[in-house]
Structure 1
Amino acid sequence: MPYPTNSDLPVGVRNHLPPHAQDIFRAAFNRAYADHALDPRREEAARRIAWAAVKRLYVRDGMYWVPR
């Protein structure tokens, strides 16, 4: 299901990603979710694509993500 706002993101995403990274995750997820409408693993594909988008600009440092 698409996420209308960052406050609707899963708790793990909200608690560990900074606000800008949450925006990236949400936008990528929503776009991928729409693009994979016929895929039976639609949500999984959207989640993977969203994390890949975040990883382009952020790197994990312990429990949190920081800009590259």
Structure 2
Amino acid sequence: MPYSSKSELPDSVKDNLPSHAQDIYKEAYNSAYEEYKDPDDRKGDASREETAHKVAWSAVKQAYHKVDGDWKKK
């Protein structure tokens, strides 16, 4: 289910990512959730939510990287 605010994001996102990265995650997740609603558009047996989370993390990793356990902007 899409997220309407950052406060709804999973703890693994809220507790680790800076605010801007959370914005990226939320927008990418919501977009992918809509884009991959058809199971034929997803790889293997991945659920709609699983696919959206993978896309969201990928989007974050394009702008941020982990340094000594903390996410830093590239």
Kindly provide the amino acid, as one letter, of the partner of residue 49 in structure 1: V
Q: Give 5+ residue unaligned stretches, structure 2.
A: 40-45
Identity of aligned residues (%): 43
Question: In the comparison of the two structures, how many residue pairs are matched?
Answer: 68
For the aligned residues, what is the CA RMSD? 1.1
Larger gyration radius, structure 1 or structure 2: 2
Rounded Cα–Cα distance in structure 1 between residues aligned with 2:70 and 2:25: 14
Between 58-67 and 15-24, the greater mean CA deviation after superposition = 58-67
Matches within 5 A, 1:46-65: 46-65=52-71
The runs of at least 4 consecutive aligned structure 1 residues that moved more than 6 Å come to: none
Rounded Cα–Cα distance in structure 1 between residues aligned with 2:69 and 2:13: 11
Deviation at 1:63, TM superposition (A): 2.9
Rounded Cα–Cα distance in structure 2 between residues aligned with 1:62 and 1:33: 31
So what's the TM-score if we normalise by structure 1? Answer: 0.93
